[in-house]
A and B are shown apart, each in its own frame.
Chain A
């Protein structure tokens, strides 16, 4: 099974399976390319007894691109800044409180249930977009791979129940919904609200970028506070 040890294997399998699920998604909107691609590859590795390390030889080429993609988050922030300027105070305070509230509640619950600091840092950054949440987790002793899974699951849950739940609780303002979704459910939630309104998508995209920065910045004082 030396074919799998070539970087080409990991890259090709990932891109082909992902492209197939993207195509399926264009016909069936409930298809979730990221989780389904990952699941198919995991099953394949287990069934064919291919070591994860072999797969990662190619996989790490793809995950390298998370770096430039993180930098690219600056573009939606910059493009939406002009529109957001009119209400920047409420939006910025929402993002700050939301990011802090998410980290604190996640961390405190883990510690109260007897979890270690590493476990707390695995889940605390999960409101930030995945490439940032992973790096914050790594920096403070969490497990980045698990953080990525938790971040994606959070984004999926938020994109499914976020907007309906907010409306049910009396939050009907599009700007407020956009900030709440972007701050808690990053890119996956943003893609979802963008389907309903361009403005909500813009606010959500802006909030997701800033949340990534705030979570990284807030992590240090929280770490000093004993997390």
Chain B
């Protein structure tokens, strides 16, 4: 229960900051950023929140069932514009998937090869 209270507290703080400052970020994301900071600074001990957090994350999909059900009202809109959503959705899934995969792999490989490059540099020098 303590863990759940801590999570709700950060949600509340995020919400307060968002309302008071008008920061262009979702309130929950402000709360999340502060929570990560608090974990790294050891203000919040991990074992105190771990139980509540893993429960919420494990069953998170249950919590957006009502949101998905709420999309019922948008079915006519979706039917009208499905081609736009489908093309945008497919491209914006595949493009970042491949770009990210290639980028991370090539940067990891470049780093693995770097010691040898430095050797070559010394020899050339």
Q: Contact at B96–A127, with CB atoms within 8 Å?
A: yes
Taken residue by residue from 26 to 65, chain B's Cβ proximity to chain A (1 for < 8 Å, 0 otherwise) reads as: 1111011101100110000010011011101100111111
Q: Contact at B99–A52, with CB atoms within 8 Å?
A: no
Looking at the complex, which one of A105, A110, A139, A146 makes contact with B71 (CB distance below 8 Å)? A146
Q: Contact at A139–B101, with CB atoms within 8 Å?
A: no
Q: Contact at B108–A175, with CB atoms within 8 Å?
A: yes
Cβ distance B40 to chain A, nearest Cβ, rounded Å: 7
Please, which residues of chain A bring their CB within 8 A of the CB of B1? none
Q: Contact at A62–B65, with CB atoms within 8 Å?
A: yes
Q: Contact at B25–A217, with CB atoms within 8 Å?
A: yes
Q: Contact at A145–B67, with CB atoms within 8 Å?
A: yes
Instruction: Give bound CA distance, A63 to B40, whole Å.
Output: 28
Instruction: Give bound CA distance, A166 to B103, whole Å.
Output: 12
Instruction: Give bound CA distance, A56 to B66, whole Å.
Output: 7
In the complex, the chain B residue whose C-beta lies closest to that of A67 is: B11
**Which residues from 63 to 79 on chain B have a C-beta closer than 8 Å to any C-beta of chain A?**
63-74, 77-78
User: Is A202 an interface residue, CB under 8 A from the partner?
Assistant: no
In the complex, the chain B residue whose C-beta lies closest to that of A87 is: B108
Given A70-B28, A136-B26: A91 in contact with B56 (beta carbons within 8 A): no
Cβ distance A12 to chain B, nearest Cβ, rounded Å: 13
Please, which residues of chain B bring their CB within 8 A of the CB of A113? 83-84, 87-88
Please, which residues of chain A bring their CB within 8 A of the CB of B99? 97-98, 101
Q: Contact at A166–B93, with CB atoms within 8 Å?
A: no
Instruction: Give bound CA distance, A170 to B103, whole Å.
Output: 12
Chain A interface residue number, banded? 35 or more
Interface of A is mostly: helix
Cβ distance A13 to chain B, nearest Cβ, rounded Å: 10
**Which residues from 9 to 35 on chain B have a C-beta closer than 8 Å to any C-beta of chain A?**
10-11, 14, 24-29, 31-33, 35
User: Is A149 an interface residue, CB under 8 A from the partner?
Assistant: yes
Cβ distance A139 to chain B, nearest Cβ, rounded Å: 6
Instruction: Give bound CA distance, A170 to B106, whole Å.
Output: 11
Which of A119, A139, A171, A177 gathers the greatest number of chain B CB atoms within 10 Å?
Answer: A171
Given A42-B72, A105-B96, A119-B81: A72 in contact with B65 (beta carbons within 8 A): no
Please, which residues of chain A bring their CB within 8 A of the CB of B103? 90, 93-94, 97-98, 176
Instruction: Give bound CA distance, A198 to B4, whole Å.
Output: 26
**Which residues from 1 to 49 on chain A have a C-beta closer than 8 Å to any C-beta of chain B?**
10, 14-15, 18, 33-35, 37-38, 41-42, 45-46
A interface residues (Cβ-Cβ under 8 A, vs B): 10, 14-15, 18, 33-35, 37-38, 41-42, 45-46, 52, 55-56, 59-60, 62-79, 81, 87, 89-91, 93-95, 97-99, 101-103, 105-107, 109-110, 113-115, 119, 122-123, 126-127, 130-132, 134-136, 138-139, 143-146, 148-150, 152-154, 157-158, 162, 165-166, 169-173, 175-177, 179-181, 183-185, 187, 209, 212-213, 216-217, 219-220, 223
B interface residues (Cβ-Cβ under 8 A, vs A): 4, 7-8, 10-11, 14, 24-29, 31-33, 35-36, 39-40, 46, 49-50, 52-54, 56-57, 60-74, 77-78, 81, 83-85, 87-89, 91-105, 107-109, 111
Query: What are 14 inter-chain pairs, A to B, with CB distance below 8 A?
Result: A14-B66, A38-B68, A73-B32, A75-B50, A78-B40, A145-B74, A148-B68, A165-B94, A173-B105, A180-B101, A183-B100, A184-B93, A184-B97, A216-B25
